[in-house]
Amino acid sequence: MDSNQKRFVEDALDLLNELDEGLMQLESNPQATAPLEQVFRTMHTIKGGANMFGFENIGELAHQLETLYDMVRQGKMQITDGLISLTLHAFDKVRDLLKEKDVARINNAEVLKDHLTSAVNFLKVAESESSADISQTTNAKNKDELATFCLRISPTINITEDGNHPLVFIVQDISALGTSKVILIQKPSREVDHWEVFITTTAPQSELESYFIFVENECVVSYFKLTPCDLFEQPEFSEYLNSLDNLPADPTKIATFVALRLATYHQQKDEDEEIAEIGNTKKRSVSDSYIKVSKRKVDDLLNWISELIILQAQLATTASSIQSTALNDVAEQLEMITGRLRDTSLEIGLVPVETLVTKFKRLVRDLSKQLNKKVNFLSEGADTEMDKDVIEMMADPMVHIIRNSIDHGIEPAVERKAIGKSEHGTVKLKAFNSSSYVNIIISDDGKGISRENVLQKALEKKLISPNENPSNEDVFNLIFHPGLSTASQVSDVSGRGVGMDVVKQRIDELRGSVAVKSIAGKGTAIHIKLPLSRSIIEGLLVNVAETRYVVPLNVIERIDRIPYAEIHREDKVDKTVIVNEEPLPVLSLRQRFHNDVNPPKTADIISVLVNGIKKGIAVDRIEGKMQTVMKPLGDVYKQQDFISGSTILGNGTLALVLDPARLFLSTSHKEFSDKYEKSN
Amino acid sequence: MKKTILVVDDFASIRDFVCDTLQRKGYETLGAANGNEAYQVLTQKANDVNLVLTDYNMPDCTGFELLKKIKENPLVTKVPVIFLTTESNPDKMRSAKEAGLSAWIKKPYRSETFFAQIENVMRNG
């Protein structure tokens, strides 16, 4: 694929999203002209681009669908569910195709064949209906209507066959419209006297004529429609033309071939007429102006800015250490500017949640059809912006949540009616910012999560003991536990119990948090909180044997200080440490990665929630809360996945950012978990 | 002197592609994303633009609207306009011609046809 094709594919994928959006609007409001025009125009652009960059099969499909929507524009057809579905599915396939890296693959006509056939059939049905409805209707260009023409083109100016006059190329273009034979008759001066073009084509005469509109002063063209079918099928005709060798054809001979051909052909169809297209295309609302920048450039920019922030912090430290007021002033101003620079540059990488909303609308539409439920999808705050990477990573988890809402949450229309709810269920996506977090709440007004069901499942799987009486919050959090699904019947939409745990895992990876609220009979709300950027981290800076670590703030439950000696339990049967009067499995960073030389008197135990289970990390001392730019560790440290990155502190030293989930999972801690499990 | 062509298309990849093609042939190019933008560029650089090559279907200001604007303004009326479009409606072509359009190139085009039309139009004005 060359670079032009690549750019086209990129643009076309954007267009396809716009198209989806337009189609969705059109479906909910079939009479609206604005979305109709948008859909038509977008398809038109895709058609043009696809043909131009050599993706003819996509161009052809877009053309057929465009024709359908053109009929709608002309009032010859109504928007129906069938039409919208047909279009959505067809362009889904186009989208899949465009994601292929290989041009040959994209151009695989087979893939789009079914969609093309259904579009053509749809058109045929629509045409027969519309011509039944409206007398005197003009037929849309029908691909099956072949005709053979003879064109006589006589230039009124002096040109040669190898000249650079447009007419020469127009003749070539015309001959490329179908099976053709061009006979060039030259004057003695070798200039063109006239061309005779015999062509069998699906293009109507008006289209042939249109080629000459802009050279009318330079030539005279006469048209003869010979047969309403392929005259080249008459072998004598082709033989005769080939034998001519640049001499004019004899009209009487041609007439005999025509008669022969017509004898075997029953004339069925009237002459084609062109589609009368209505005037100017409607205007589309002005969109904000954007430029496309490669992701790499933005990443580079962010990288340099994070270096700048580190340098600025060092300057601030130096300035205060040499106690120079003048330098302090400069350092403070620099701090302000770098702060703003950081905020602005982070915003560059942000995209509105809206990009997901279209996808979700589509999902809700398809799912509700599939499950035969009536569901509306509402979105609020779709202009809230998030890091592009975060959006991409969250797309699937959010799809899963919405699937669950529709599949398990929203009741069938009959059931809803019976309990006095409106027939249409509602799934709502709300997005908003708070400090350095993006909040996403996905809620539904379905039947809610059944506390009893979850509890029972949890008991079966021995996740809780029978005499426990956990709070509602704890119960609902159990849905994120691997292997717990409350659907009594597994459907192909959701409910295999894989999913919600993955959702939770993904959110943890992004250092976000998730909370579930549910009221029986009223509905469920899932509140996801994500950091604005993956590279900015809020955490606790801790000190272990003079090495600094950062523990992400989002997983921290509480902090306790206990005597250092108490975490030494290797020789005890019960390895758990009593913290805040509760037994807690504790991992001591000092014991794991350092040594017991000069231990502190006390240890700070940071309780973190990992996959719903509380665990402790023992550190020497907590130094404070900090917000900082995280930088990836080099490839050399890739294996150490319990460290998600590093950050450079104001004094130039390094702190390692811990990934608590992986810390407890990591194989180097197998020993620890083994011990813990044995003791359990 | 190099001839300058103003390329108008709202679809960036096509616009860039057309510009690249023209530049390789030794033309200078200017780009605009819609009719209004193109008209603005044109009126500012009336003496520098030798040809306007525009798409037909564009949001805000279509190629046809742009054509009318150009032909109605005595300052720029002499700049030839060519439509480069997938549109192939003969009525539209006819009315565009009446409005002063110099040539109509259908997308997808063959590069020989494309350059022959452009050169012919610029030669004959």
- In sequence order, the 6+-apart residues with CB closer than 8 A to the CB of A495 are A404, A407, A408, A485, A487, A489
Query: Do the beta carbons of residue A493 and residue A403 sit within 8 Å?
Result: yes
Two structure tokens written together for B15: 């616009």
pLDDT at A211: 85
pLDDT at A666: 61
| Structural domains in chain B plus CATH codes | 4-124 (3.40.50.2300)
Please check whether residue B14 touches A, CB under 8 A: yes
Q: Answer whether 0.90 is exceeded by the pTM.
A: no
> Which residues of chain A have a pLDDT value below 50?
133-143, 267-287, 487-498, 667-670, 672-680
pLDDT interval class at B7 (50, 70, 90): very high
pLDDT at A530: 86
- Cis peptide bond prior to A660, omega within 30° of 0: no
Please check whether residue B124 touches A, CB under 8 A: no
Q: Using CA atoms, how far apart are residues B82 and B125, in angstroms rounded to an integer?
A: 11
Strands A375-380 and A425-434: what pairing? parallel
- The model's pLDDT over A475-520, given as tens digits with 9 standing for 90+, comes to 888 888 776 655 444 444 444 444 787 788 888 878 788 888 888 8
pLDDT at A351: 82
Per-residue b or e along A372-402, where b marks 16 or more CB atoms closer than 10 Å to that residue's CB: ebbbbbebebbebbbbebbbebbeebbbbbb
Query: Do the beta carbons of residue A473 and residue A371 sit within 8 Å?
Result: no
- In sequence order, the 6+-apart residues with CB closer than 8 A to the CB of A507 are A394, A397, A513, A514, A528, A530
CB contact under 8 A, A274 and B10: no
From the list A277, A280, A283, the residue facing B64 with the nearest CB is A280
Please check whether residue B98 touches A, CB under 8 A: no
Which residues 25-64 of B have a C-beta within 8 angstroms of A? 55, 57, 59-60, 62, 64
Measure A214 CA to nearest chain B CA, in Å. 6
CB contact under 8 A, B90 and A206: yes
Identify the helix (H) or strand (E) that includes residue A443. strand A437-444
Which value does ipTM take for this structure? Answer: 0.82
Q: Using CA atoms, how far apart are residues A261 and A228, in angstroms rounded to an integer?
A: 10
CB contact under 8 A, B59 and A277: no
Which residues 279-308 of A have a C-beta within 8 angstroms of B? 280-281, 283-284, 286, 292
CB contact under 8 A, B86 and A207: no
pLDDT at A442: 92
Q: Which residues of A touch B112 (CB under 8 A)?
A: 169, 172
Query: Is the model's pLDDT at B124 over the cut of 50?
Result: yes
Q: Which residues of B touch A164 (CB under 8 A)?
A: 115-116, 119-120
Q: Using CA atoms, how far apart are residues A91 and A363, in angstroms rounded to an integer?
A: 15
pLDDT at A131: 57
Q: Using CA atoms, how far apart are residues A466 and A471, in angstroms rounded to an integer?
A: 14
CB contact under 8 A, A281 and B62: yes
CB contact under 8 A, B11 and A7: no
- Choose between A260 and B82: higher pLDDT: B82
Please check whether residue B97 touches A, CB under 8 A: yes
pLDDT at B81: 93
pLDDT at A273: 33
Measure B17 CA to nearest chain A CA, in Å. 6
Please check whether residue A564 touches B, CB under 8 A: no
Query: Do the beta carbons of residue A50 and residue B15 sit within 8 Å?
Result: no
pLDDT at A129: 67
pLDDT at A36: 86
Q: How many CB pairs under 8 A join A and B?
A: 106
pLDDT at A283: 32
- Choose between A414 and B124: higher pLDDT: A414
Please check whether residue A10 touches B, CB under 8 A: yes
Please check whether residue B120 touches A, CB under 8 A: yes
Number of other residues whose CB lies within 10 A of the CB of residue A195: 23
Could you write out the DSSP letters of every residue in A32-62?
A: -HHHHHHHHHHHHHHHHHHHHTT-HHHHHHH
Please check whether residue B119 touches A, CB under 8 A: yes
Measure A193 CA to nearest chain B CA, in Å. 20
